[in-house]
Amino acid sequence: MSRLGTLGARLHRGEVGYDFVPKRMIWYGVSLLITVAAILGLTVKGLNMGIEFQGGAVFTTPKTSISASQAEQRAEEAAGHDAIVQELGTGGLRIQISGVDTAKSDEIKAELSKDLGVKADDINADLVGPSWGEQIANKAWTGLGIFMVLVVIYLAIAFEWRMAVAALVALIHDITITVGIYALVGFEVTPGTVIGLLTILGYSLYDTVVVFDSLKESSKDITKQTRWTYSEVANRSINATLVRSINTTVVALLPVAGLLFIGGGVLGAGMLNDISLSLFVGLAAGAYSSIFIATPLVAELKEREPGMKALKKRVLAKRAAAAEKGETAEAAAPGAAEPGDAEPEDAAHAVVGPRTQPVSRTRGRGRPSGKRR
C-alpha cells in the first residue's frame, strides 16, 4: 500500500489526526483575508467584461504576417480605444473591440484591411449587441439563485439546517474567491466564464456532502456516550475523508490544469482560458472550504445546542475524573473508538478474545457418549 493509502487508513481508524475543528479560528482568518483581497480586486480593478456583455465587434482575419502586438496597435488606432487580439491556430487573428456599432465596424474593417494587407471581404466581422449580454447575465443570476435555494432545501431535508447554512456559506466563499481572482488576473469574462462558475458549484458541494454524510453517521446517538464532544466527532469525520477529498480534487484538477496552462497558455485558446480558470480556482476553493470552513462551522453551530453543551460538560468531567485518578482510560482519549460504539456509563470494558469457561465436573454425566465401556 502507498504511503498516502496507509495515511488514509490510519486517519480513518483514528490512529492519527489533524486539528481542523479546534483550530477553526485560524482557518476563518485565512479565508477572511482571501475574501477581502478578492473583494478589493473587484472594487479596484473590476471585471474585464467581454463584448458579449458590453456589445462590440469581433474581426477574424485570414493568415497574415502581422504579429498580434502590431495588429493590436493598429486596431486601437482605427477604433480609438482598446482592442484585444488573439492569434488563431490557422495563422489568422481574432480582433475584439467593444462599444462598436455597424457604421464604425465598417470603418475599422476597411482600416484593418489596409494595415494587415488582406482583402476586406476576407475579414469576417461579427457584431454583438449589449442587450444579449444583459440577458445572459440575468439568466445566470437567476440560475444561481434557484440553485442556492434548492441546495439549502435539499441539505436541510437530507441532513439538517445547520449543514445547509454551512454549505451555503462555503458556496458564497468559493464564488467570491473565484470572481475576485478573475478581477485580479484580468481575464475576460465571457459566457464561458459563466458556465465555469455554474459548474464549480456542484464540485464545491461534492466534498462538503461527503464529509457531512460521514459526520451524520458518526454522530448518531452521540448523547448516549461520554467519550467525545460533537466537535471532536466532526474533526474525526474530516480526517476520515481527508485523503479521499485530496484524491478526488487532484484528479479533477489535473485535466483542468491541462486546459488552463497548455490549452490557454501554449495554444492561445481564449475560450479555454475563460472556462478553465474558473474551474481550476473553484475546484481548489471548494476542496478548501469543505475541510476548513463548512464542517468547522457546523460543529460551532451544533455546539450551541443545550444537549451538546451538556454532553461537553459530561465528557470533560469524566476526563477530569480519570486524570485525577491517574487512569489511562479509553474514555479519556478522544480518538480511541467510534461514537457509535457507545457503552453504558458504568459498564466495565469487555474482554477482548475468547474466554475460558470452567469445566463442570458433572458435565456429560448421564448422557450417552457414543463410546463403548
List, in order, residues 6 or more apart from 332 with CB less than 8 Å away.
318, 319, 322, 323
Contact 173, 293 (CB under 8 A): yes
d(CA 64, CA 91): 7
3-state class (DSSP) for residue 329: coil
356: pLDDT strictly greater than 70? no
Q: How confident is the model at residue 370 (pLDDT cuts 50, 70, 90)?
A: very low
Distances (CA, A) of 126 to 88, 94, 99, 100, 269: 16, 11, 13, 11, 19
Which one is predicted more confidently, 55 or 231?
Answer: 231
Predicted confidence at residue 251, as pLDDT, reads 86
pLDDT value at 78 more than 80: no
Q: How confident is the model at residue 29 (pLDDT cuts 50, 70, 90)?
A: very high
What's the average model confidence in pLDDT over 142-158? 88
Q: How high is the pLDDT of residue 14? A: 57
How many angstroms separate the CA atoms of 250 and 267, rounded? 23
Neighbours of 360 (CB within 10 A): 8
The DSSP call for residue 351 is: P
For 125, other C-beta atoms within 10 Å of its C-beta total: 17
3-state secondary structure of 47: coil
Contacts of 23 (CB under 8 A, 6+ apart): none
Please state, in angstroms and rounded to a whole number, the distance separating the CA atoms of residues 149 and 151. Answer: 5
Global confidence as pTM: 0.72
With cell 488552463, the residue in question is: 260
**pLDDT at residue 373 in the model:** 42
| Cα–Cα distance, 43 to 181 (Å, whole number) | 12
**Is the pLDDT higher at 99 or at 149?**
149
Grouping H, G, I as helix, E, B as strand and the rest as coil, residue 189 is strand
The cell for 324 is: 485525577
| Domain covering 3-49+132-306, topology | Multidrug efflux transporter AcrB transmembrane fold (1.20.1640)
Q: How far apart are CA 98 and CA 328, in angstroms?
A: 72
Cα gap 241→207, rounded to integer Å: 9
Which tens digit of pLDDT belongs to each residue from 241-257? 888 888 888 888 888 88
Average pLDDT over the chain, rounded to an integer: 77
Instruction: Give pLDDT, residue 42.
Output: 87
Query: Structural domain boundaries of the chain?
Result: 3-49+132-306, 56-128
Cα Rg, the chain, nearest whole Å: 31
Q: Mention every residue, 6+ apart, whose C-beta is less than 8 A from residue 29.
A: none
Grade residue 186 by pLDDT with cuts at 50, 70 and 90: confident
Mean pLDDT of all residues in 157-162: 90
Output the pLDDT for position 162: 92
Find out whether 238 and 20 touch, Cβ atoms under 8 Å: yes
Q: How confident is the model at residue 1 (pLDDT cuts 50, 70, 90)?
A: low
Residue 258 or 216, more confident: 216
- 56-128 fold: Alpha-Beta Plaits (3.30.70)
